[in-house]
Structure 1
Amino acid sequence: MSIPREESSSGRRTFGTSGAQVAAANEPPRSRVARSDTGAVGLGPGTVESVTPATIDRELRLARAAVFGAFTLNGFLLALWVVHIPAITDRAGVSPSLLGMFVLLLAGAAIVGMRAAGPAADRFGSRTLVAVAATAISVTVIGPGLATGPVALGLALACFGLGNGALDVSMNTQAVHVERAYRRPIMSAFHAMFSGGGFAGALVGAATQRAGWSPALTLTCAGAVGLLVTALLVPHLVAHHQHADPSTPEFPERRAPQGESRSGCPGEPGDDTATADHLTPTRPADTAPNHDAPTADRLAHIRPAEDYAGTPSSARRDVGARGHAAAADRAAPETPSSSAARTRREQHRDTARARKVLSLGVIAFVLLLAEGVAGDWSALQARAHLGVSEGDAALAFGAFSATMTLGRFGADRVSGAIGPVAILRYGSLLAAAGLAVVIASPWLPLTLLGWAMCGLGLAGGVPQIFTAAGNLGGSTAATDMSRVFTIGYLGLLAGPALIGWLTALIPLTAALVVPLVLTLASAAAAPMVARRP
């Protein structure tokens, strides 16, 4: 929506108004909407474009819904592959031992896709990569259903894994930027939608198998749905130029036309204000808005008014003066000593970022290791330790997955109230306590309680890590996230394998002490996810 405004002495005015008129105007700005003969909202001459909070809310909601769709689609397609594993392996003539190798092949291909996705997203934008990766998994998910031999199945799983890894990184990068625009935690909800998509995929797969559908038919229909969903969600994702440098605010500074100061008064530096219920435009007055541009692209021209509100005028002038001084310093010729100092600062910053990425990756490794152990060994532990039936043992994983899904839906609000550090610290402690209950429990209900505690404790930690990785700053946000994601994904693979090796030496229940100790260590490392000031 385009709304020309008469600006007051707080810094908002129609360009061309005299300084005396600006000084005399001390009432809140009034809005005048210019409409064309067709009724479309347009700009009057010499005015700037403003977008109402309602417009921003609508566009951000669409961006959030699009990222929700990407997470749901990913979980949905993965679940359909998982529930069809028995039928697919029978058709392809794959033994259980060879299937284990193929699962590792899929995971290895996913890691390759993750490593390649980070630099690609930084260069071309995560929106482009989501489009490519979501299209890829929608097409390649059909391959396993068509495979008639081990070689064909291996190639199909490798292609599917590459697309899945690329989508993991690119959709999490999108989630970070949408969360930043919302200015409140919403990352856990995205991961909850992945779990929800997996649940829906399991139900659909079970229903189609009961109806007598072949894996090829089910996966082909799922791929077609995936292509349709991708076409619908990609236009609403965040554009590349909006997050080329995550170290800067997600909404750029307001810029006045050439020859005007940012306050609209010639010669007065940087008096930036806005009322709390308005948004300030970034497009110059002499530039016509592009109302046909994608909604996500238009978000780049808006900065929330809260960035300006509540700052004294003198302080704003001081900030503006410092900004002009900094610009003058940048314009001055660079001496060899200043160049060397700048190089040292950049090297120090890069080293610090690399250490932070490694630290976040290690924490993600630990949490996903515990999650992988719960996924693969919870039912087996209940049956081996308690001697219950297979049906009752399956309730162990059900308790874990149910509380993890519910916890991720609620983790964002809790994180907004107590912060990401507390989420990771107390969540890790709760998960460790749950594992301790499982180890000590002699009864199934108590074991189910322990796995439920573990799922709830692990629900919010990984989303906080991905948010912290995406907000490290610099121009390599997607690359940083891909590295953290890759290290964490290794934990998801290593956890079940590690427990399997240990069971050759000690009982399965005793082997659960390893993830218990590691989750306690992640609680101690919780300050690593603190929000940047």
Structure 2
Amino acid sequence: MTDARSRRGRGSLAVSFFVQGVTFALLVTRIPAIQDRYGISDALLPVFLAAVPVLAGVGSVLTGKLVRRVAPSVVLRWAQPVVLLALLALGAGERLWHVGVALGVFGLAVGALDASMNMLGVSLQRAYGRSIMLGFHAAYSLGGIVGASLAWVGAHGELALVVSYLPVVAVLLPVALVGSRWYVEGEPGRGGPVGRSGGVLVPLCLVLMFAYIGDSTVANWSAKYLADVLGGSEELATVPYNAYMVTTLLGRAVGDLAVRRFGAVAVVRGGAVLAAAGFAVVAGAPGAWAGVAGFTVLGLGLSVVVPQAFAAARSDAEVARLNVFNYVGFLVGSPLVGALGDAWSYRGAMLLPLVLVLVMLRYATAVGGERALYGGGHERPRTVDVG
């Protein structure tokens, strides 16, 4: 693999992460508008929210089997357009079954997309011999900021969902298709096509699951929490996820340097402490802007955890297995927070992810394997820097 080809592959994959960040943000920040458009009750909303990660987990498992015969780049090339078109269908539908079908297709395709994106990212990091994985996830965070900002414009202008989504999909779909021409398969993992046994991966799976429980709490409940609990407007309700993504971007932008300097374990433990502090602020917030501040701190803390968990994988099969716990976190976290909120209080429900991110301190050593800890004497020697 030539240096120029490596750079093109790295850039095109970053574009894919960016596009997915925009897409996902446009979905989660407009949940109140989607609920109103389709007349989804508060009791039924968690069911729809849970369906996406369930089907995404199925998509990830299928991708883990598919990449034994087809390159991850091929899966990613076709999964991303399907995700974008499913988002557009979600905005254009009118009946309840329309939203069900659109979210179903979105979930299956996003599982394949997330798994294949991270497979390519991990393999490129192996080829580079140094930590670059957080940079890809920084591109996702930048996309989230753009998507949340576009969602704010749609809410502020009281635009119909399809009017908000159509121009975005019209721009991003050709960008994704053109960028996919330069995807590059990096260095294969060790341990063969299967990798380590499932038991060895349990600590990594727990770290990823707890991180995504925290992330799903922000993605699925921050808008509703700010509007219903803290008294914010619909426009202000789009801000917490945007603020969360800004600090997530900042954390990931410097995260690769931090990993090389301090090691993956120290970085993940520091992130867990910051995330717990953010949830504490959210739970005790006296008003809407204090809640925004808490979600902002949360982004800085959780930003480093997920990329490092994926970076510790040794094969595509392990990435696919780990990716399932992305959706387990969403599946468990979002409905559980909603159920606790209904049965007790939404402030009290924020204590659940607070405790779980602190539990990550116990399992943080799992991210410190040979493949995760680049830098600090662990970076692979190389004669030519590929970017």
TM-score, with normalisation over the residues of structure 2? 0.82
Structure 1 residue 247 and structure 2 residue 190: aligned?
yes
Q: Which residue in the other structure is 2:262 paired with?
A: 418
Cα offsets for 1:231-259 (capped at 9, x unmatched): 322221123xx54x4118xxxxxxxxxxx
Quote the Cα distance in structure 2 between the aligned partners of 1:66 and 1:160.
Answer: 22
SS across alignment from 1:499? helix
Structure 1 residue 84 displacement after superposition: 5.6
Structure 1 residue 135 displacement after superposition: 2.8
2:117 to 171, 176, 180: 171
Quote the Cα distance in structure 1 between the aligned partners of 2:132 and 2:153.
Answer: 32
Q: Which residue in the other structure is 2:212 paired with?
A: 368
Which structure's residues are more often helix, by fraction? 2
Cα offsets for 1:268-323 (capped at 9, x unmatched): xxxxxxxxxxxxxxxxxxxxxxxxxxxxxxxxxxxxxxxxxxxxxxxxxxxxxxxx
5 Å-filtered alignment, 1:10-159, equals 56=3, 58-82=4-28, 94-95=40-41, 97-159=43-105
Structure 1 residue 168 displacement after superposition: 0.6
Structure 1 residue 116 displacement after superposition: 0.9
SS across alignment from 2:8? helix
- Structure 2 CA distance for partners of 1:108 and 1:175, relative to 1, 3 Å: same
Q: Which amino acid aligns with 2:214?
A: A
- Structure 2 CA distance for partners of 1:524 and 1:417, relative to 1, 3 Å: same
Q: Which residue in the other structure is 2:337 paired with?
A: 499
* Conserved? CA contact 2:196–2:318, under 8 Å: no
Q: Which residue in the other structure is 2:302 paired with?
A: 458
Q: Percent identity?
A: 30
Cα offsets for 1:436-468 (capped at 9, x unmatched): 455566687766554433321111011100111
* Conserved? CA contact 2:81–2:173, under 8 Å: yes
- Structure 2 CA distance for partners of 1:122 and 1:420, relative to 1, 3 Å: farther
Q: Which amino acid aligns with 1:68?
A: A
Q: Which amino acid aligns with 1:481?
A: V
2:355 to 502, 509, 517: 517
Quote the Cα distance in structure 2 between the aligned partners of 1:392 and 1:399.
Answer: 11
* Conserved? CA contact 2:265–2:368, under 8 Å: yes
Quote the Cα distance in structure 2 between the aligned partners of 1:78 and 1:111.
Answer: 16
Higher relative contact order (CA 8 A, sep 6+): 2
* Conserved? CA contact 1:400–1:451, under 8 Å: yes
Q: Which amino acid aligns with 1:433?
A: A
Quote the Cα distance in structure 2 between the aligned partners of 1:485 and 1:169.
Answer: 6
* Conserved? CA contact 1:177–1:238, under 8 Å: no
5 Å-filtered alignment, 1:289-304, equals none
Structure 1 residue 353 displacement after superposition: 3.1
* Conserved? CA contact 1:119–1:478, under 8 Å: no
SS across alignment from 2:197? helix
Structure 1 residue 214 displacement after superposition: 5.2
Quote the Cα distance in structure 2 between the aligned partners of 1:500 and 1:86.
Answer: 14
Structure 1 residue 67 displacement after superposition: 0.7
Q: Which residue in the other structure is 1:402 paired with?
A: 246
Structure 1 residues 146-155 or 448-457, which shifts more?
Answer: 448-457
Quote the Cα distance in structure 2 between the aligned partners of 1:459 and 1:111.
Answer: 22
Q: Which residue in the other structure is 1:481 paired with?
A: 319
SS across alignment from 2:130? coil
Structure 1 residue 66 displacement after superposition: 0.7
- Larger gyration radius, structure 1 or structure 2: 1
RMSD: 3.4
SS across alignment from 1:141? helix
* Conserved? CA contact 1:93–1:149, under 8 Å: no
Structure 1 residue 141 displacement after superposition: 3.0
Quote the Cα distance in structure 1 between the aligned partners of 2:209 and 2:82.
Answer: 27
Q: Which amino acid aligns with 2:245?
A: S
* Conserved? CA contact 1:115–1:482, under 8 Å: yes
- Structure 2 CA distance for partners of 1:438 and 1:102, relative to 1, 3 Å: closer
Structure 1 residue 483 displacement after superposition: 1.5
Q: Which residue in the other structure is 1:181 paired with?
A: 127
Q: Which amino acid aligns with 1:361?
A: C
Quote the Cα distance in structure 2 between the aligned partners of 1:394 and 1:139.
Answer: 23
Cα offsets for 1:203-233 (capped at 9, x unmatched): 3455467778754455444444343123322
Structure 1 residue 357 and structure 2 residue 201: aligned?
yes
Cα offsets for 1:18-67 (capped at 9, x unmatched): xxxxxxxxxxxxxxxxxxxxxxxxxxxxxxxxx9xxx61x3222111111
5 Å-filtered alignment, 1:286-365, equals 352-365=196-209
Quote the Cα distance in structure 2 between the aligned partners of 1:393 and 1:141.
Answer: 20
Structure 2: where are the runs of 5+ without partners?
372-387
Structure 1 residue 140 displacement after superposition: 3.0
Aligned pair count?
370
Q: Which residue in the other structure is 2:182 paired with?
A: 236
Structure 1 residue 115 displacement after superposition: 1.4
TM-score, with normalisation over the residues of structure 1? 0.61
* Conserved? CA contact 2:133–2:308, under 8 Å: yes
SS across alignment from 2:131? coil
SS across alignment from 2:69? helix
Q: Which amino acid aligns with 2:352?
A: V
- Structure 2 CA distance for partners of 1:530 and 1:85, relative to 1, 3 Å: closer
* Conserved? CA contact 1:89–1:95, under 8 Å: yes
- Structure 2 CA distance for partners of 1:465 and 1:380, relative to 1, 3 Å: same
Quote the Cα distance in structure 1 between the aligned partners of 2:25 and 2:283.
Answer: 29
SS across alignment from 2:51? helix
Q: Which amino acid aligns with 2:263?
A: G
Quote the Cα distance in structure 1 between the aligned partners of 2:227 and 2:157.
Answer: 31
* Conserved? CA contact 1:71–1:194, under 8 Å: yes
